[in-house]
């Protein structure tokens, strides 16, 4: 199993609510307000883990929720901050906001890189924060900031030195089997390999990472097992190795590969390409030379980069690895990632106040928290709330859009009439 793309649900913690409380100790018989603030909700982080090489651990676990902040309490005590939650991903994972397909949130390409993908909700303020010269006994407090669940996509591209692609049944797995310790399935039928295979080749104290992409076909829509869906991994390879059976129509197979690469991202054609012809044990040396001449005439860029292999661990295969290692020394960095700026989720841009059907609505987050954190069913609290509302910019905005005495005003779960 090799999972390289998943959608997961994340939620950072809601902020804790602020407290409404009055100090009643012996030193202060009248009792001053002492309701503390709520704690901050935990955040959701994405963190690179260099030991991961796929997203398989997200096959079943798809929900990640950070802890909510604690409530504030009396004696001015602030609630506890919620614990953060960390989502580990392999190096080279793109993070996208699923509600907005094109919204790339981050590109985690360095080891130990971490990114706060969803910040925890702010804690609400306790009633101490609402003391003014006119209101010494505020009955107001805010609920904590609420955070919605978000869907994000984790999209992992394997980093490799050599990526083997080619038509089905061309000998890709056989090559991996001969040069590394990996033992992919080999079969004399197409699509033996249905998911990318990753292997490491060790020679002369230098490691070469190799990835096999399942067979490419001309018409990928009709073939769910084809490798066309995995072309993204080519973006992060240094060398593209086209593996083709010498008994096939080599020129048209090369053209098919070029076409598929061009369709996906034509910049891929600028990468270093090598041609690996397999089944060469089935042909005489003279025929082999004719073939190579014909190919180099048509594809001049492949000159000197054609390897003729047999299904055996012989001199030819060793020379092939040596050559790949040599190329790697001169290829600086073929990683095609653009520098992607890290951006945050878009906030919902609702108008702060509006008229809807037969009533006015306040969408301002801070006032909603204030309504929800206070008990507006208590008339004394409501008087204080309305006073605060009227002396704020939101009050001015309501007047600007035409609110008058007696009009119905809704905020959060509450509805009341506007008094002047
Ligand atoms: N004689 C000979 N047979 C080979 C050679 N390379 C591969 N084969 C045979 O060709 C068949 C296909 O080989 P695989 O390595 O499974 O090919 P693949 O490209 O990985 O195939 P898919 O994963 O199905 O796309 C197997 O029966 C291999 O034994 C070779 O150089 N010489
Ligand atoms: Mg295979």
Output the pLDDT for position 344.
57
Ligand minimally distant from the alpha carbon of residue 189: 1
Residue 338 belongs to a domain: no
Domain end residue (candidates: 122, 157, 192): 157
Give distance in angstroms: CA of 178 to centre of ligand 2.
Answer: 13
CB 168 near ligand 1, within 6 Å: yes
- CA 206 – ligand 1 centroid, Å: 26
pLDDT tens per residue, the chain (420 residues)?
899 999 999 999 999 999 999 987 656 556 789 999 999 999 999 999 989 999 999 999 999 999 999 999 999 999 999 999 999 999 889 998 887 766 788 887 776 678 899 999 999 999 999 998 888 899 999 999 999 999 999 999 999 999 999 999 999 999 999 999 899 999 999 889 999 999 999 988 789 999 999 999 887 777 777 889 999 999 999 999 999 999 999 999 999 999 999 999 988 998 999 999 999 988 888 888 888 888 888 888 887 789 999 888 888 999 999 999 999 988 865 556 554 555 556 555 678 899 988 999 999 989 999 999 999 999 999 999 999 999 999 999 999 999 999 999 999 889 999 987
Is 343 inside any structural domain?
Answer: no
**Is ligand 1 within 6 A of the CB of residue 282?**
yes
Could you tell me the residue range of the domain that residue 260 belongs to? 160-330
* Alpha carbons 373 and 384: distance in angstroms, whole number: 13
| CA neighbor of 211 nearest in space, from 195, 192, 228 | 195
Angle at alpha carbon of residue 16, lines to 11 and 17, rounded to 5° = 135
Closest ligand to residue 214's CA: 1
CATH number assigned to the domain comprising residue 123: 2.70.210.12
Residue 408 lies in a domain: yes
Residue 175: inside a domain: yes
Query: Among 283, 53, 268, 309, which Cα is nearest to 172's?
Result: 309
Residue nearest to atom 3 of ligand 1 (CA): 279
For residues 91 and 109, what is the distance between their CA atoms, to the nearest angstrom? 5
Structure tokens at 420: 């002047």
Ligand 1: centre distance to CA 172 (Å): 7
Looking at 95, 128, 157, which one is the last position of a domain?
157
* pTM for the structure as a whole: 0.83
Closest by CA to 194, choosing from 228, 161, 157, is 228
β 150-156/5-11 pair status:
antiparallel
- Among the atoms of ligand 1, which is closest to the Cα of residue 164? 19
Residue with tokens 């018409």: 219
* Structural domain count of the chain: 3
- Is residue 101 assigned to a domain? yes
**Looking at 63-129, which runs of residues are DSSP E strands?**
63-65, 85-89, 93-97, 104-108, 114-118
Together in a domain, 17 and 125: yes
Query: Distance between CA 137 and CA 287 in Å, rounded?
Result: 98
Judgement on whether residues 141 and 193 belong to the same structural domain of the protein: no
Do the Cβ atoms of 11 and 44 come closer than 8 Å? yes
Question: What integer pLDDT is reported at residue 334 of this predicted model?
Answer: 55
Atom of ligand 1 nearest to the CA of 194: 23
Q: Does residue 194 share a domain with residue 64?
A: no
Does the C-beta of 186 come closer than 6 Å to ligand 1?
A: yes
What pLDDT shows up at residue 339?
47
d(CA 381, CA 227): 65
pLDDT of residue 102: 63
Check whether residue 182 and residue 135 sit in a common domain. Answer: no
Does ligand 1 lie within 6 Å of residue 279's CB atom? yes
Ligand 1 atom with minimal separation from the 169 CA: 21
- Residue 400: CB partners within 8 Å, gap ≥ 6? none
Say whether both 153 and 212 belong to one domain. no
- Cα–chain center distance at 55: 11
Please indicate whether residue 170, judged by its CB atom, sits closer than 6 Å to ligand 1. yes
């Amino acid at each position: 199993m090799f999972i390289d793309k998943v959608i997961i649900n994340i939620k950072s913690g809601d902020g804790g609510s602020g407290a409404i409380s009055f100090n009643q100790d012996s030193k202060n018989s009248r009792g001053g307000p002492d309701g503390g603030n709520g704690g901050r909700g935990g955040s959701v982080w994405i963190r690179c883990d260099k030991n991961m090489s796929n997203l398989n651990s997200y096959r079943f676990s798809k929900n990640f929720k950070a802890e909510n902040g604690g409530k504030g309490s009396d004696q001015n005590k602030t609630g506890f901050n919620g614990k953060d939650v960390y989502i580990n991903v392999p190096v080279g994972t793109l993070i996208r906001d699923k509600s907005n397909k094109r919204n790339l949130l981050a590109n985690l390409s360095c080891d130990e890189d971490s990114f706060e993908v969803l910040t925890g909700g702010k804690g609400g303020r306790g009633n101490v924060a609402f003391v003014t010269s006119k209101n010494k006994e505020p009955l107001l407090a805010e609920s904590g900031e609420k955070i919605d669940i978000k869907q994000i996509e984790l999209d992992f591209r394997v980093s490799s030195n050599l990526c083997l692609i080619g038509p089905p049944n061309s000998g890709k797995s056989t090559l991996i089997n001969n040069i590394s310790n990996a033992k992919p399935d080999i079969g004399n039928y197409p699509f033996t390999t249905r998911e990318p295979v990753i292997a490491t080749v060790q020679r002369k104290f230098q490691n070469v990472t190799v990835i096999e992409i399942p067979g490419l076909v001309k018409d990928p829509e009709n073939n769910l097992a084809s490798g066309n869906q995995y072309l993204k991994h080519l973006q992060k390879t240094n060398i593209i190795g086209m593996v083709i059976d010498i008994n096939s129509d080599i020129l048209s197979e090369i053209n098919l590969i070029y076409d598929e690469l061009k369709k996906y991202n034509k910049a891929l054609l600028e990468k270093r390409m090598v041609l690996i012809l397999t089944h060469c044990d089935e042909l005489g040396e003279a025929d082999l030379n004719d073939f190579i001449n014909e190919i180099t005439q048509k594809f001049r860029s492949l000159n000197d980069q054609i390897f003729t292999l047999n299904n055996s661990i012989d001199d030819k295969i060793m020379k092939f690895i040596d050559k790949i290692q040599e190329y790697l020394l001169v290829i600086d960095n073929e990683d095609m990632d653009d520098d992607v700026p890290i951006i945050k989720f878009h906030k919902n841009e609702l108008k702060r106040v509006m008229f809807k059907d037969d009533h006015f609505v306040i969408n301002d987050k801070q006032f909603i928290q204030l309504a929800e954190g206070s008990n507006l069913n208590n008339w004394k609290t409501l008087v204080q709330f309305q006073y605060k509302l009227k002396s704020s910019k939101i009050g001015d905005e309501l007047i600007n859009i035409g609110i008058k005495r007696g009009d119905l005003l809704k905020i959060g779960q509450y509805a009341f009439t506007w008094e002047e």
